[in-house]
């Protein structure tokens, strides 16, 4: 697999109006309250990780932002409008890469542009550019079954980037990968974010991953999911593999881990 230089920079958040605003939002399924009175705002350029005990509503939180679930109470807005009216501004990346097995890599990445009705030449050009960005120019004609887990996730990221999103929602995209592959993809993700400047919400069970990626971390409590704590990550904006060996990084990982334990 092609290697990508791991150096990366986090975009400093823009002080303007929040891109994502959640006000007193709750979500119930029948008699079960999954999320309870969530209040949070994210500015343009923020990278926000969601952590907490299993079943605390992290994925539901993402789906409220995406408009895939409607809040039972309260409101969620993206750039001041309802999420269902902002879907062209966002992209969702799941833990499973969800690649179509009968389509080659290039064709899988073209799919969103194809569904939008873009010309064949334009969508191929866009797909080739984003595949180069994620280090897969050599694999354009591969089928999904020929790819490693990390390569499949790179294809999934590339496919999302063809949409030129303002908001990227990631639901444990690297959770099934080995540690070395996950770390490399985290570095690549920040490098791409530095180039494109989108806002991100990222679900993870890893305190270390959350600290490396984020400028803010939301810790959700056990059922019903409430915001137990919002942790501002105080690390240099330049983040690469060496950061993981620094005392300050390890200290902040310990802070987040302790907060997750206390949220049970």
d(CA 110, CA 104): 10
**In the chain, domain spans:** 20-96+170-262
Specify whether the CB–CB gap between 52 and 223 falls below 8 A.
no
Overall average pLDDT of the 16-23 stretch: 89
pTM: 0.90
SS (H, E, C) 119-147: CHHHHHHHHHHHHHHCCCHHHCCCCHHHC
Residue 7 pLDDT greater than 60, yes or no:
no
pLDDT, tens digit (0-9, with 9 covering 90-100), for 112-138: 999 989 999 999 999 999 999 999 999
Residue 202 pLDDT greater than 60, yes or no:
yes
Count the residues in the chain. 264
* pLDDT at residue 236 in the model: 87
* pLDDT at residue 15 in the model: 54
Helices (H), 134-206: 149-161, 179-196
CATH of 20-96+170-262, one of 3.40.50.300, 3.40.50.10420, 3.40.1500.10, 3.30.450.40: 3.40.50.300
Q: What is the mean pLDDT of the chain?
A: 91
CA triple 55-57-60, angle to 5 deg: 130
State the residue for tokens 């881990």. Answer: 257
């Amino acid at each position: 697999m092609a290697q990508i230089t791991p150096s990366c920079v986090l975009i400093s958040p823009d002080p303007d109006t929040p891109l994502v605003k959640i006000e007193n939002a709750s979500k119930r399924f029948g008699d079960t309250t999954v999320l309870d009175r969530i209040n949070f705002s994210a500015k343009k350029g923020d990278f926000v990780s969601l952590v907490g005990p299993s079943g605390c509503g992290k994925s539901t939180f993402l789906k409220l932002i995406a408009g895939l679930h409607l809040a039972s109470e309260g409101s969620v807005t993206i750039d001041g409008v309802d999420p269902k009216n902002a879907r062209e501004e966002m992209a969702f990346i799941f833990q499973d890469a969800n690649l179509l097995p009968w389509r080659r890599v290039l064709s899988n990445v073209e799919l969103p542009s194809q569904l939008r009705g873009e010309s064949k030449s334009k969508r191929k050009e866009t797909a080739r550019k984003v595949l180069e960005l994620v280090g897969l120019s050599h694999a354009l004609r591969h089928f999904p079954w020929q790819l490693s887990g990390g390569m499949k996730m790179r294809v999934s990221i590339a496919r999302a980037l063809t949409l030129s999103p303002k908001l990227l929602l990631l639901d444990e995209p690297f959770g099934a990968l080995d540690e070395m592959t996950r770390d490399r993809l985290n570095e690549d993700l920040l490098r791409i974010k530095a180039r494109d400047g989108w806002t991100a919400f990222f679900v993870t069970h890893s305190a270390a991953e959350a600290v490396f990626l984020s400028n803010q971390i939301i810790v959700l409590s056990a059922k019903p999911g409430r915001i137990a704590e919002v942790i501002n990550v105080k690390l240099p904006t330049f983040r690469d593999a060496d950061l993981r060996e620094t005392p300050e990084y390890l200290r902040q990982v310990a802070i987040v881990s302790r907060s997750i334990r206390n949220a049970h």
